[in-house]
C-alpha cells in the first residue's frame, strides 16, 4: 500500500466525510444551491493563492532539481489552470476578477491554508505534501466519482464544468504524480516512529477540507 492510501485508510471516516460531503453530492446531482457554489468559488480562488505559495515553498524546500521541477509543475498547474478555471466560472456567475480578489478570506479559508503553510514551514517536503494531498488527490477522486454519476456529466448540471475539470486526464495525472512524489519522499524520510505525526497532519487537513465544504452549505440554511 502506498503512503497516500495508507493515510486515507487510517482516517477513513474523516476521508468519507470530506469526499462525500453534502456539498459534493449536491454538485454531483446538480442540486447544490447556487449561492453556496458561488461563495465556494470565490473562497477557493483565494485558497489557491495560498496554495500557490505552498508550492513555491516546496521549490525552496526541495533537495534537488527533480524535486524543484516537480514542485514547479504543481505551482504552474495552480497559476495557469486552476485559477483561470475559477475566474472563468466566476465570470459565468457574474463575478469579475477584481471583485473576487478583493473579497476577504473566510475563517475556514484562513484556517486551512495557514495550517498547510505552517506544516511546510515547520517541517520538510514530506510534511508539506502530506498536508497538501487531501486537496490535490482528493479533488481528483471526487471528480472521477462524480463524472460517473447519472447527472455528473450532464449539460443540465450547472456544476458539470467543475466536475469535468477535476475528472480530466490532466488533473488525474497531476494527482497520480502527487501520490508518486509522496512515495519517493517517504522512501527517503518516513519511519514508523514518524508515521503518527504524518497521519495527524493528513487527518487535520482532511477535516479542514470538510469544513471548507461546510462553509458553503451554511449559506443554504
**Catalytic residue ranges:** 135, 209
CA distance 178 to 191: 20
CA distance 106 to 103: 9
Question: Which grid coordinates belong to 18?
Answer: 470530506
**Do 72 and 58 form a contact (C-beta atoms < 8 A)?**
no
Task: Residue 123: name the closest of 171, 194, 174, 67 by CA.
Answer: 194
Question: Which grid coordinates belong to 163?
Answer: 466536475
Q: What is 164-204 written as a DSSP string?
A: HHHHSHHHHHHHHHHHHHHHHHHHHH--TTTHHHHHHHHHH
Angle between helices 83-92 and 160-167 (to 10 degrees): 170
**In sequence order, what are the residues at sequence separation of 6 or more whose Cβ sits closer than 8 angstroms to the Cβ of residue 211?**
108, 111, 112
Residues written for the chain: 221
Amino acid at each position: 500500500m502506498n503512503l497516500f492510501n495508507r493515510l486515507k485508510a487510517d482516517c477513513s471516516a474523516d476521508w468519507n466525510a470530506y469526499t462525500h460531503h453534502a456539498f459534493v453530492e449536491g454538485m454531483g446531482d446538480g442540486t447544490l444551491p447556487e449561492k453556496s457554489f458561488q461563495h465556494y468559488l470565490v473562497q477557493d480562488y483565494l485558497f489557491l493563492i495560498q496554495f500557490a505559495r505552498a508550492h513555491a515553498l516546496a521549490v525552496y524546500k526541495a533537495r534537488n532539481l527533480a524535486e524543484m521541477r516537480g514542485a514547479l509543475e504543481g505551482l504552474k498547474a495552480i497559476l495557469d489552470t486552476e485559477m483561470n478555471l475559477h475566474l472563468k466560472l466566476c465570470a459565468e456567475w457574474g463575478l469579475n476578477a477584481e471583485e473576487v480578489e478583493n473579497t476577504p478570506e473566510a475563517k475556514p479559508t484562513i484556517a486551512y491554508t495557514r495550517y498547510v503553510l505552517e506544516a511546510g514551514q515547520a517541517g520538510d517536503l514530506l510534511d508539506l505534501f502530506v498536508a497538501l494531498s487531501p486537496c490535490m488527490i482528493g479533488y481528483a477522486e471526487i471528480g472521477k466519482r462524480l463524472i460517473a454519476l447519472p447527472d455528473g456529466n450532464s449539460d443540465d448540471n450547472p456544476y458539470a464544468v467543475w466536475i469535468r475539470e477535476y475528472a480530466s486526464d490532466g488533473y488525474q495525472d497531476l494527482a497520480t504524480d502527487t501520490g508518486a512524489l509522496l512515495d519517493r519522499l517517504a522512501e527517503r524520510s518516513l519511519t514508523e516512529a514518524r508515521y503518527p505525526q504524518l497521519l495527524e497532519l493528513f487527518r487535520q487537513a482532511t477535516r479542514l477540507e470538510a469544513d471548507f465544504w461546510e462553509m458553503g452549505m451554511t449559506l443554504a440554511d
